[in-house]
Structure 1
Protein backbone atom coordinates (compact mmCIF):
# COMPACT_ATOMS: atom_id res chain seq x y z
CA UNK A 1 0.00 0.00 0.00
CA UNK A 2 1.22 3.49 -0.82
CA UNK A 3 2.37 5.80 1.94
CA UNK A 4 0.38 8.95 2.80
CA UNK A 5 3.41 11.23 2.47
CA UNK A 6 2.53 12.53 -0.98
CA UNK A 7 4.21 15.58 -2.53
CA UNK A 8 2.59 18.04 -4.95
CA UNK A 9 3.99 16.96 -8.32
CA UNK A 10 3.18 20.33 -9.90
CA UNK A 11 6.12 21.95 -8.10
CA UNK A 12 8.49 20.03 -10.42
CA UNK A 13 8.98 20.76 -14.12
CA UNK A 14 7.89 18.01 -16.48
CA UNK A 15 8.28 17.81 -20.25
CA UNK A 16 6.60 14.77 -21.85
CA UNK A 17 9.00 12.35 -23.60
CA UNK A 18 12.13 13.87 -22.02
CA UNK A 19 12.28 11.62 -18.95
CA UNK A 20 16.07 11.85 -18.62
CA UNK A 21 15.95 15.64 -18.32
CA UNK A 22 12.92 15.48 -16.04
CA UNK A 23 14.83 13.15 -13.71
CA UNK A 24 17.98 15.31 -13.88
CA UNK A 25 16.19 18.50 -12.81
CA UNK A 26 14.03 16.62 -10.31
CA UNK A 27 17.21 15.53 -8.52
CA UNK A 28 18.58 19.04 -8.56
CA UNK A 29 15.35 20.40 -7.12
CA UNK A 30 15.13 17.75 -4.40
CA UNK A 31 18.68 18.66 -3.34
CA UNK A 32 18.02 22.40 -3.47
CA UNK A 33 14.74 22.38 -1.54
CA UNK A 34 15.94 20.18 1.32
CA UNK A 35 13.95 17.09 0.35
CA UNK A 36 17.21 15.22 -0.34
CA UNK A 37 20.83 15.53 0.74
CA UNK A 38 22.45 18.68 -0.74
CA UNK A 39 25.00 16.56 -2.65
CA UNK A 40 22.42 14.04 -3.90
CA UNK A 41 24.09 11.23 -1.99
CA UNK A 42 20.73 9.65 -1.11
CA UNK A 43 19.45 9.75 -4.71
CA UNK A 44 19.90 7.32 -7.59
CA UNK A 45 19.01 7.70 -11.25
CA UNK A 46 17.68 4.55 -12.90
CA UNK A 47 17.47 3.95 -16.64
CA UNK A 48 15.10 1.12 -17.59
CA UNK A 49 15.40 -0.63 -20.95
CA UNK A 50 16.54 -3.84 -22.69
CA UNK A 51 18.18 -5.11 -25.87
CA UNK A 52 14.93 -4.70 -27.82
CA UNK A 53 14.40 -1.13 -26.59
CA UNK A 54 10.84 -2.11 -25.72
CA UNK A 55 9.68 -2.10 -22.11
CA UNK A 56 6.12 -2.31 -20.82
CA UNK A 57 5.27 0.00 -17.90
CA UNK A 58 1.85 0.62 -16.35
CA UNK A 59 0.25 3.69 -14.75
CA UNK A 60 2.00 6.07 -17.13
CA UNK A 61 0.44 9.48 -17.79
CA UNK A 62 1.20 9.25 -21.52
CA UNK A 63 -0.91 6.11 -21.93
CA UNK A 64 -4.12 6.00 -23.95
CA UNK A 65 -5.35 2.97 -21.98
CA UNK A 66 -7.27 2.78 -18.72
CA UNK A 67 -4.51 0.73 -17.06
CA UNK A 68 -1.87 3.29 -18.05
CA UNK A 69 0.18 0.88 -20.17
CA UNK A 70 2.95 2.35 -22.33
CA UNK A 71 5.62 0.55 -24.35
CA UNK A 72 8.67 2.79 -23.91
CA UNK A 73 12.05 2.37 -25.60
CA UNK A 74 13.55 3.44 -22.27
CA UNK A 75 12.43 5.23 -19.15
CA UNK A 76 14.22 7.14 -16.38
CA UNK A 77 13.23 7.48 -12.74
CA UNK A 78 14.78 8.69 -9.50
CA UNK A 79 14.98 6.53 -6.36
CA UNK A 80 15.72 7.91 -2.90
CA UNK A 81 16.92 5.97 0.12
CA UNK A 82 15.92 8.25 2.97
CA UNK A 83 17.67 8.65 6.30
CA UNK A 84 14.93 6.56 7.95
CA UNK A 85 15.85 3.75 5.49
CA UNK A 86 12.56 4.05 3.59
CA UNK A 87 12.95 3.83 -0.19
CA UNK A 88 10.78 5.85 -2.56
CA UNK A 89 10.48 6.33 -6.31
CA UNK A 90 10.10 9.75 -7.91
CA UNK A 91 8.62 9.30 -11.40
CA UNK A 92 7.16 12.41 -13.00
CA UNK A 93 5.57 10.31 -15.76
CA UNK A 94 3.71 8.05 -13.35
CA UNK A 95 0.05 8.41 -12.37
CA UNK A 96 0.79 6.75 -9.02
CA UNK A 97 1.30 8.61 -5.76
CA UNK A 98 4.31 10.93 -5.92
CA UNK A 99 6.64 9.68 -4.58
CA UNK A 100 5.73 6.00 -4.22
CA UNK A 101 7.34 3.40 -1.95
CA UNK A 102 9.70 1.29 -4.05
CA UNK A 103 7.93 -2.04 -3.50
CA UNK A 104 4.55 -0.51 -4.35
CA UNK A 105 5.94 1.24 -7.45
CA UNK A 106 7.60 -1.95 -8.75
CA UNK A 107 4.45 -3.99 -8.17
CA UNK A 108 2.12 -1.51 -9.86
CA UNK A 109 4.40 -0.23 -12.65
CA UNK A 110 6.13 -3.43 -13.79
CA UNK A 111 3.50 -6.01 -12.73
CA UNK A 112 6.03 -8.79 -12.06
CA UNK A 113 3.32 -11.45 -12.38
CA UNK A 114 2.64 -10.39 -15.99
CA UNK A 115 4.41 -12.95 -18.16
CA UNK A 116 6.85 -11.45 -20.68
CA UNK A 117 8.94 -13.15 -23.33
CA UNK A 118 12.60 -13.26 -22.18
CA UNK A 119 13.71 -10.66 -24.73
CA UNK A 120 11.26 -8.13 -23.25
CA UNK A 121 12.45 -8.44 -19.65
CA UNK A 122 13.43 -5.11 -18.11
CA UNK A 123 16.91 -4.24 -16.96
CA UNK A 124 17.92 -1.34 -14.75
CA UNK A 125 21.03 0.84 -14.96
CA UNK A 126 21.60 2.39 -11.53
CA UNK A 127 23.72 5.56 -11.37
CA UNK A 128 24.45 7.53 -8.21
CA UNK A 129 22.82 10.94 -8.63
CA UNK A 130 25.83 12.84 -7.33
CA UNK A 131 27.85 11.36 -10.21
CA UNK A 132 25.07 11.63 -12.77
CA UNK A 133 24.56 15.35 -12.15
CA UNK A 134 28.22 15.99 -12.99
CA UNK A 135 28.59 13.75 -16.02
CA UNK A 136 25.24 13.53 -17.85
CA UNK A 137 24.75 15.51 -21.07
CA UNK A 138 22.07 15.66 -23.74
CA UNK A 139 21.76 17.89 -26.79
CA UNK A 140 18.42 16.17 -27.57
CA UNK A 141 19.58 14.77 -30.90
CA UNK A 142 17.64 11.56 -30.21
CA UNK A 143 14.39 13.54 -30.42
CA UNK A 144 15.01 15.02 -33.87
CA UNK A 145 13.79 13.71 -37.21
CA UNK A 146 16.27 13.53 -40.12
CA UNK A 147 14.91 16.85 -41.40
CA UNK A 148 15.62 18.51 -38.06
CA UNK A 149 12.04 18.74 -36.79
CA UNK A 150 11.24 17.70 -33.23
CA UNK A 151 9.48 14.42 -32.47
CA UNK A 152 8.18 16.16 -29.33
CA UNK A 153 8.53 19.74 -28.16
CA UNK A 154 11.75 20.03 -26.08
CA UNK A 155 12.04 21.58 -22.60
CA UNK A 156 12.32 25.36 -22.44
CA UNK A 157 15.69 25.27 -20.66
CA UNK A 158 19.00 24.93 -22.48
CA UNK A 159 20.32 21.42 -23.21
CA UNK A 160 22.29 19.81 -20.38
CA UNK A 161 26.09 20.01 -20.71
CA UNK A 162 28.36 17.91 -18.47
CA UNK A 163 30.95 19.50 -16.18
CA UNK A 164 33.74 18.41 -18.53
CA UNK A 165 32.04 20.05 -21.53
CA UNK A 166 30.52 16.88 -23.02
CA UNK A 167 27.36 17.82 -24.92
CA UNK A 168 25.77 14.40 -25.45
CA UNK A 169 26.21 11.01 -23.81
CA UNK A 170 22.60 9.93 -23.27
CA UNK A 171 23.21 6.97 -25.59
CA UNK A 172 25.77 5.57 -23.13
CA UNK A 173 23.24 5.52 -20.30
CA UNK A 174 20.35 4.09 -22.30
CA UNK A 175 22.47 1.33 -23.88
CA UNK A 176 21.24 -1.45 -21.62
CA UNK A 177 21.83 -5.10 -22.49
CA UNK A 178 20.93 -8.30 -20.67
CA UNK A 179 24.54 -9.46 -21.04
CA UNK A 180 25.70 -6.47 -18.95
CA UNK A 181 23.59 -7.35 -15.90
CA UNK A 182 25.53 -8.35 -12.80
CA UNK A 183 24.99 -11.82 -11.37
CA UNK A 184 24.79 -10.80 -7.73
CA UNK A 185 24.23 -7.63 -5.76
CA UNK A 186 27.09 -7.36 -3.27
CA UNK A 187 29.37 -4.74 -1.73
CA UNK A 188 31.42 -4.58 -4.94
CA UNK A 189 28.33 -3.67 -6.95
CA UNK A 190 27.36 -1.00 -4.41
CA UNK A 191 30.87 0.46 -4.56
CA UNK A 192 30.79 0.52 -8.37
CA UNK A 193 27.56 2.51 -8.38
CA UNK A 194 29.12 5.01 -5.98
CA UNK A 195 32.24 5.46 -8.10
CA UNK A 196 31.56 4.81 -11.80
CA UNK A 197 29.97 7.22 -14.27
CA UNK A 198 27.64 4.61 -15.76
CA UNK A 199 26.99 2.68 -12.55
CA UNK A 200 25.84 -0.92 -13.05
CA UNK A 201 23.06 -2.87 -14.78
CA UNK A 202 20.89 -5.22 -12.73
CA UNK A 203 17.89 -7.47 -13.31
CA UNK A 204 14.44 -6.48 -12.14
CA UNK A 205 14.36 -9.00 -9.31
CA UNK A 206 17.57 -7.47 -7.90
CA UNK A 207 16.24 -3.93 -7.66
CA UNK A 208 14.80 -4.00 -4.16
CA UNK A 209 17.76 -6.03 -2.90
CA UNK A 210 20.16 -3.37 -4.16
CA UNK A 211 18.49 -0.60 -2.18
CA UNK A 212 18.23 -2.65 1.00
CA UNK A 213 22.02 -3.15 0.76
CA UNK A 214 22.80 0.56 0.34
CA UNK A 215 23.87 2.23 3.57
Structure 2
Protein backbone atom coordinates (compact mmCIF):
# COMPACT_ATOMS: atom_id res chain seq x y z
CA UNK A 1 0.00 0.00 0.00
CA UNK A 2 1.02 3.64 -0.47
CA UNK A 3 0.78 6.15 2.36
CA UNK A 4 1.81 9.81 2.74
CA UNK A 5 5.46 10.13 3.71
CA UNK A 6 7.87 12.96 4.51
CA UNK A 7 11.39 12.24 5.70
CA UNK A 8 12.36 13.40 9.21
CA UNK A 9 8.71 13.75 10.26
CA UNK A 10 8.00 10.22 11.53
CA UNK A 11 5.39 11.42 14.05
CA UNK A 12 3.37 13.03 11.25
CA UNK A 13 3.80 10.07 8.89
CA UNK A 14 2.32 7.78 11.53
CA UNK A 15 -0.45 10.28 12.30
CA UNK A 16 -1.42 10.33 8.60
CA UNK A 17 -1.27 6.52 8.51
CA UNK A 18 -3.61 6.38 11.52
CA UNK A 19 -6.03 8.74 9.77
CA UNK A 20 -6.15 6.67 6.61
CA UNK A 21 -6.08 3.17 8.08
CA UNK A 22 -8.61 3.90 10.79
CA UNK A 23 -10.90 5.45 8.20
CA UNK A 24 -10.50 2.33 6.06
CA UNK A 25 -11.43 0.19 9.04
CA UNK A 26 -14.45 2.44 9.68
CA UNK A 27 -13.91 1.70 13.38
CA UNK A 28 -11.26 0.03 15.48
CA UNK A 29 -13.04 -3.20 16.27
CA UNK A 30 -12.44 -5.72 19.01
CA UNK A 31 -10.23 -7.82 16.72
CA UNK A 32 -8.31 -5.04 14.89
CA UNK A 33 -6.50 -2.48 17.02
CA UNK A 34 -4.07 0.24 15.98
CA UNK A 35 -1.42 1.81 18.21
CA UNK A 36 1.06 4.63 17.60
CA UNK A 37 4.34 3.90 19.40
CA UNK A 38 7.04 6.45 20.27
CA UNK A 39 10.47 4.93 20.91
CA UNK A 40 13.07 6.88 22.86
CA UNK A 41 15.45 6.73 25.83
CA UNK A 42 16.28 8.82 28.92
CA UNK A 43 18.90 10.70 26.90
CA UNK A 44 16.84 10.84 23.69
CA UNK A 45 19.36 8.65 21.92
CA UNK A 46 17.82 5.37 20.81
CA UNK A 47 19.60 2.73 18.66
CA UNK A 48 17.54 0.96 16.00
CA UNK A 49 18.78 -1.43 13.33
CA UNK A 50 17.67 -1.98 9.71
CA UNK A 51 17.01 1.73 9.21
CA UNK A 52 16.98 3.14 5.70
CA UNK A 53 19.11 6.23 6.41
CA UNK A 54 21.99 4.19 7.86
CA UNK A 55 25.33 3.86 6.08
CA UNK A 56 26.23 0.68 7.99
CA UNK A 57 25.72 -2.91 6.93
CA UNK A 58 23.54 -3.58 9.98
CA UNK A 59 21.41 -0.48 9.34
CA UNK A 60 22.10 1.05 12.75
CA UNK A 61 20.82 4.57 13.37
CA UNK A 62 20.77 6.47 16.67
CA UNK A 63 17.50 8.41 16.63
CA UNK A 64 16.49 10.99 19.24
CA UNK A 65 13.10 9.32 18.92
CA UNK A 66 11.23 7.24 16.38
CA UNK A 67 7.56 6.49 15.77
CA UNK A 68 6.01 3.31 14.43
CA UNK A 69 2.50 1.88 14.07
CA UNK A 70 1.35 -1.45 15.46
CA UNK A 71 -1.69 -3.35 14.22
CA UNK A 72 -3.11 -6.12 16.39
CA UNK A 73 -5.39 -8.63 14.71
CA UNK A 74 -6.78 -11.12 17.20
CA UNK A 75 -3.59 -12.44 18.88
CA UNK A 76 -1.14 -11.40 16.14
CA UNK A 77 0.77 -8.12 16.01
CA UNK A 78 2.30 -6.35 13.01
CA UNK A 79 4.53 -3.27 12.65
CA UNK A 80 4.52 -0.46 10.11
CA UNK A 81 7.81 1.49 10.07
CA UNK A 82 8.32 3.91 7.18
CA UNK A 83 12.09 3.86 7.71
CA UNK A 84 12.84 0.14 7.97
CA UNK A 85 14.70 -1.81 5.30
CA UNK A 86 12.94 -5.04 6.25
CA UNK A 87 11.02 -6.31 3.21
CA UNK A 88 12.17 -3.25 1.25
CA UNK A 89 13.22 -3.50 -2.39
CA UNK A 90 15.35 -0.99 -4.26
CA UNK A 91 12.36 1.07 -5.36
CA UNK A 92 11.27 1.45 -1.75
CA UNK A 93 14.77 2.33 -0.59
CA UNK A 94 14.92 5.21 -3.06
CA UNK A 95 11.67 6.62 -1.74
CA UNK A 96 10.71 10.16 -2.61
CA UNK A 97 8.99 12.56 -0.28
CA UNK A 98 5.27 12.59 -0.87
CA UNK A 99 4.36 8.91 -0.65
CA UNK A 100 5.84 5.62 0.43
CA UNK A 101 5.17 2.01 -0.47
CA UNK A 102 4.99 0.25 2.87
CA UNK A 103 3.69 -2.96 4.39
CA UNK A 104 3.07 -4.30 7.87
CA UNK A 105 5.75 -6.69 9.13
CA UNK A 106 5.11 -9.50 11.66
CA UNK A 107 6.04 -8.14 15.08
CA UNK A 108 8.43 -10.96 15.97
CA UNK A 109 10.47 -10.47 12.80
CA UNK A 110 10.55 -6.70 13.19
CA UNK A 111 11.58 -6.89 16.85
CA UNK A 112 14.32 -9.43 16.22
CA UNK A 113 15.93 -7.42 13.43
CA UNK A 114 15.36 -3.92 14.81
CA UNK A 115 15.96 -4.27 18.57
CA UNK A 116 18.75 -6.86 18.81
CA UNK A 117 21.74 -6.41 21.12
CA UNK A 118 19.55 -4.76 23.77
CA UNK A 119 21.34 -6.53 26.61
CA UNK A 120 24.62 -4.75 25.79
CA UNK A 121 23.21 -1.22 25.90
CA UNK A 122 24.15 1.18 28.71
CA UNK A 123 21.22 2.30 30.84
CA UNK A 124 20.94 5.74 29.23
CA UNK A 125 20.45 4.19 25.78
CA UNK A 126 17.92 1.51 26.68
CA UNK A 127 14.74 1.83 24.71
CA UNK A 128 11.38 2.80 26.17
CA UNK A 129 8.06 2.69 24.32
CA UNK A 130 5.08 5.01 24.69
CA UNK A 131 2.05 3.17 23.34
CA UNK A 132 -1.11 5.13 22.54
CA UNK A 133 -4.26 4.02 20.74
CA UNK A 134 -4.67 5.48 17.27
CA UNK A 135 -7.93 7.16 18.28
CA UNK A 136 -6.24 8.94 21.17
CA UNK A 137 -3.24 9.84 19.04
CA UNK A 138 -5.47 11.39 16.38
CA UNK A 139 -7.35 13.49 18.93
CA UNK A 140 -4.53 14.57 21.26
CA UNK A 141 -1.39 15.02 19.12
CA UNK A 142 -0.41 18.55 18.10
CA UNK A 143 2.72 19.88 16.41
CA UNK A 144 3.60 23.35 15.19
CA UNK A 145 6.88 21.84 13.92
CA UNK A 146 8.97 24.20 16.04
CA UNK A 147 11.13 21.24 17.14
CA UNK A 148 12.48 21.14 13.59
CA UNK A 149 13.74 24.75 13.62
CA UNK A 150 17.48 25.41 13.74
CA UNK A 151 19.52 28.62 13.79
CA UNK A 152 20.19 29.93 10.28
CA UNK A 153 23.95 29.96 9.67
CA UNK A 154 23.59 33.12 7.60
CA UNK A 155 23.35 35.09 10.85
CA UNK A 156 20.84 37.51 12.28
CA UNK A 157 19.54 35.01 14.84
CA UNK A 158 16.88 33.77 12.45
CA UNK A 159 15.59 30.22 12.39
CA UNK A 160 14.95 27.87 9.53
CA UNK A 161 13.71 24.31 9.22
CA UNK A 162 16.46 21.71 9.39
CA UNK A 163 14.27 19.74 6.99
CA UNK A 164 11.46 21.42 5.06
CA UNK A 165 8.07 20.45 6.55
CA UNK A 166 5.53 18.29 4.71
CA UNK A 167 2.95 19.98 2.47
CA UNK A 168 -0.09 19.04 4.55
CA UNK A 169 -1.33 21.44 7.27
CA UNK A 170 0.17 21.40 10.75
CA UNK A 171 -1.49 18.74 12.90
CA UNK A 172 -3.69 19.62 15.85
CA UNK A 173 -6.06 16.96 17.17
CA UNK A 174 -9.57 17.84 18.21
CA UNK A 175 -8.94 17.51 21.96
CA UNK A 176 -5.68 19.43 21.72
CA UNK A 177 -7.41 22.21 19.77
CA UNK A 178 -10.19 22.56 22.32
CA UNK A 179 -7.56 22.77 25.06
CA UNK A 180 -5.65 25.44 23.13
CA UNK A 181 -2.59 23.21 22.74
CA UNK A 182 -0.74 23.46 19.44
CA UNK A 183 2.54 21.74 20.37
CA UNK A 184 2.84 18.73 22.69
CA UNK A 185 5.31 16.34 21.03
CA UNK A 186 7.53 16.37 24.13
CA UNK A 187 4.74 14.72 26.10
CA UNK A 188 5.03 11.73 23.75
CA UNK A 189 8.82 11.59 23.61
CA UNK A 190 9.33 11.95 27.38
CA UNK A 191 9.59 8.46 28.87
CA UNK A 192 10.63 9.03 32.46
CA UNK A 193 7.40 10.37 33.96
CA UNK A 194 5.44 7.99 36.14
CA UNK A 195 2.05 9.34 35.10
CA UNK A 196 0.29 9.23 31.75
CA UNK A 197 -2.12 12.11 32.34
CA UNK A 198 -0.90 15.53 31.30
CA UNK A 199 -2.47 18.75 29.97
CA UNK A 200 -6.20 19.24 30.47
CA UNK A 201 -6.75 15.61 31.40
CA UNK A 202 -5.56 14.26 28.04
CA UNK A 203 -3.99 10.82 28.19
CA UNK A 204 -0.79 10.24 26.26
CA UNK A 205 -0.74 6.47 26.34
CA UNK A 206 1.37 4.21 28.53
CA UNK A 207 5.14 3.80 28.81
CA UNK A 208 6.70 0.31 28.63
CA UNK A 209 10.23 -0.94 29.17
CA UNK A 210 11.51 -3.02 26.28
CA UNK A 211 10.80 -6.23 28.16
CA UNK A 212 7.23 -5.13 28.89
CA UNK A 213 6.73 -3.97 25.31
CA UNK A 214 7.89 -7.26 23.82
CA UNK A 215 5.73 -9.29 26.18
CA UNK A 216 2.74 -7.06 25.36
CA UNK A 217 2.88 -7.54 21.59
CA UNK A 218 4.83 -10.73 20.97
CA UNK A 219 2.62 -13.72 20.30
CA UNK A 220 3.61 -16.28 22.95
CA UNK A 221 3.18 -19.05 20.37
CA UNK A 222 5.75 -17.42 18.03
CA UNK A 223 9.27 -18.75 18.68
CA UNK A 224 11.01 -16.76 15.92
CA UNK A 225 12.11 -14.00 18.31
CA UNK A 226 15.43 -14.25 20.14
CA UNK A 227 14.17 -14.61 23.71
CA UNK A 228 17.58 -14.15 25.30
CA UNK A 229 17.22 -10.47 24.40
CA UNK A 230 14.05 -10.23 26.49
CA UNK A 231 15.65 -11.95 29.48
CA UNK A 232 18.59 -9.58 29.63
CA UNK A 233 16.77 -6.22 29.20
CA UNK A 234 16.02 -4.12 32.26
> How many Å separate the matches in 2 of 1:109 and 1:71?
12
1:66 matched to 2:65? The reply is no
Inter-CA distance 100–196: structure 2 relative to 1 (3 Å threshold): farther
* Deviant stretches of 4+, over 3 Å: none
Instruction: State the 1:117 CA deviation.
Output: 1.0
Q: Cα deviation per residue 1:132-158 (whole Å; 9 max; x = unaligned)? A: 111100010000013221111211101
Show the counterpart of 2:7.
16
> How many Å separate the matches in 2 of 1:127 and 1:50?
17
What 5-or-longer segments of structure 2 have no aligned partner?
Answer: 88-102, 152-157, 220-234
- Pairing of 1:189-208 with structure 2 (within 5 A): 197-208=203-214
Kept in 1, the 8 Å contact 2:38–2:67? The answer is: yes
Instruction: State the 1:39 CA deviation.
Output: 4.2
1:138 matched to 2:153? The reply is no
Larger Rg: 2
Inter-CA distance 144–104: structure 2 relative to 1 (3 Å threshold): same
Other structure's SS at 1:27 match:
helix
Q: Cα deviation per residue 1:79-106 (whole Å; 9 max; x = unaligned)? A: 1111x42100011111113311111111
Show the counterpart of 2:112.
107
Show the counterpart of 1:88.
78
Show the counterpart of 2:184.
169
Higher strand share: 2
Measured on the aligned residues, the alpha-carbon RMSD in Å equals 2.3
Instruction: State the 1:38 CA deviation.
Output: 2.5
Aligned length in residues:
188
Kept in 2, the 8 Å contact 1:132–1:197? The answer is: no
1:75 matched to 2:66? The reply is yes
What 5-or-longer segments of structure 1 have no aligned partner?
Answer: 1-7, 182-188, 190-194
